[in-house]
Amino acid sequence: MMRDRAQALMIDLDGVLRRWDPAPMIAVEVEYGLKPASLLETAMSWDIYRPAMAGEITDAEWMRLVADRLPIEADRAAAAVAAWQSYRGEVDPEALAFVREVRAGGRKVAIATNATDRLRPDLDALGLTGEVDLVLSSWELKVHKPAPEYFQQACLQLRVLPKHVLFVDDDDRVIRGARAAGLSGYRWAGPQHVPYLRKVLDLPV
């Protein structure tokens, strides 16, 4: 049985539209005598990461919790986190070109991401705010991917039935959640698969 053609695109931000150079984080960890990857691992601790993504605490509160857990003096920990967070990533030009192509083809495009209240300022700084039709933030929806409620609310806001939405993300677990919610899910591993995604969206190849 063939699926319906997708009429809209939901695309993840981090790992797809935005990429992160690890060098700035490494430099901060070296400067402050922290173990490699300790900043990211601390921030991703589930008991503080989940409420930050679900809109229960602000980005600033989340970062204070990260600083509190670093094994260095409080003032140095706060400075380390501030230095780490000053770098906000870079736009992937090929992913952005794909988004522009989809919109030029008459399809809606939404950024669908787990994020904090810092998301919209980041999008402004990256020049992405005007590049999409809608921003679907877990912080604003109060539920994070891959929960089915996230995709239900996202499709309602996009005003497109799940079966008509193509969801692109770099996380297999999130892709499985999107498919379980009735969306077409595709794991982004780079622009080499854009021709296939054009077909799913019924765009010229």
What does the alpha-carbon distance between residue 93 and residue 191 come to, in Å, rounded to a whole number?
A: 10
What's the confidence (pLDDT) of residue 1? Answer: 35
How much is the average pLDDT of 114-126?
98
* Total-model pTM: 0.92
What's the confidence (pLDDT) of residue 193? Answer: 87
pLDDT exceeds cutoff 80 at 35? yes
What's the confidence (pLDDT) of residue 2? Answer: 43
Q: What is the pLDDT of residues 162-197, one digit of tens each?
A: 999 999 999 999 999 999 999 999 999 999 989 999
Q: What is the pLDDT of residues 63-75, one digit of tens each?
A: 999 999 999 999 9
**Is pLDDT larger for residue 154 or for residue 193?**
154
Long-range pairs of 16-19 with CB within 8 A, sequence gap ≥ 24: 16/92, 16/95, 16/168, 16/169, 16/170, 16/188, 17/91, 17/92, 17/95, 17/96, 17/99, 17/111, 17/128, 18/89, 18/90, 18/91, 18/92, 18/122, 18/126, 18/128, 19/89, 19/90, 19/91, 19/92
What's the confidence (pLDDT) of residue 57? Answer: 98
The segment with the largest mean pLDDT, out of 2-6, 158-162, 190-194, is: 158-162
Question: What mean pLDDT, rounded, does the chain reach?
Answer: 96
